[in-house]
Chains A and B, each alone.
Chain A
Amino acid sequence: MFSAYIENPTDCRFEGQDAQEKILLLLRAHPITNLKWIIPSLLLFLFPFFIPKFLLFLNFDMSFIPSTYVVVFLIINYLLILTIAFEGFLYWYFNVYIVTNKNIIDVDFHSILFKNIDVAPLKNIEDTQSSMGGILQSIFHFGNVFIQTAGTTRNIDFHSVPRPHHVADFILDEAHKLYGS
C-alpha cells in the first residue's frame, strides 16, 4: 500500500484509465526522500523542549508569560508539525509514475491545488535512460529515469524512483512488445 515500487497493483486506479488499460508498474519516489520533511518535523517537535532552557540562558523568565499563551503556542507548534508531516506524506503518496500496457503517466502535484499530468503513449517511446549518483542514491538504490518520446511529445522523467535501471529496461521492453520486436 505504501510501497514505492509496485508491480501489477490490484487495488489502484487512476483518473482517465480505460477499461482495457492495465497498470503494470506504479512508482513513487524512494521512501528515504521523505527525510526532507521528517527531519524538520522532528526538530519542530523537540523545539518546545529546548525553548525554556534557551530563554533561561538569555536570563528571560518564562513565568512572566501567561500560561494560556504558552498552551496556544504549543498547540500551534504541534499543528504546524501535523501540517508539515501530512503535506509531505501527501506529496510523496500522490506524486506517482504509472506504466500501463498503453501509456506512461507522470502525476505531479507541485503545490496546493496545482496538478500536472503528463501522458505519453508507450508506442511513442524511443529511448530510456537511467541515472544513479550520490551517497544516498547509491546506498538505497534509487535514481532518475528519463524517457524520450517521439516527435514533439514532451519527454517524461521519473525522479528518485527505486531500481531505476530495472524500470528503464522494463519500459523499453513494454514498448518493444507493442512493436512486436
Chain B
Amino acid sequence: MEVNFFESKAVLFVVKTAVLIILVFYGIFALLIIRQVDLMRKTLITQTSEILSAISIIHAGFAIGLLVLAWVIL
C-alpha cells in the first residue's frame, strides 16, 4: 500500500512554511539586487545601465508577487 505524504495537513503546512520562508529571503535578496545595480550603474555610467536597473526592479516585483501568490494558493 502506497502512502501519500501530501494528504497529511501537517506535511503540507511544513512545506508551505518552508516555501514562504525561502520566498521571503528571495524577496530581500531581490531588493538587495536593486541596490547593487544602483551602485554599479553609478560606478560605470553607460546607456545600458538604465535597462539593467529596470530589469532589477521587475525582478524584485516578480519575487514579491510570487511570495503573495504562494501565500494565496498554497
Contacts and interface: CB of A to CB of B under 8 A. Distances in A.
B69 A86 contact: no
Contact of B43 (A82, A112, A117): A117
Contact of A14 (B45, B59, B73): B45
Interface string B1-31: 0101111000010010001001100100110
Contacts, number: 89
Interface residues of B, number: 39
A75 interface: yes
Given A14-B44, A64-B5, A76-B66, 9 more contacts: A12-B45, A75-B69, A76-B22, A83-B59, A86-B56, A113-B35, A113-B36, A113-B39, A115-B39
Interface of B: 2, 4-7, 12, 15, 19, 22-23, 26, 29-30, 32-33, 35-37, 39-48, 52, 55-56, 59, 62-63, 66, 69-70, 73-74
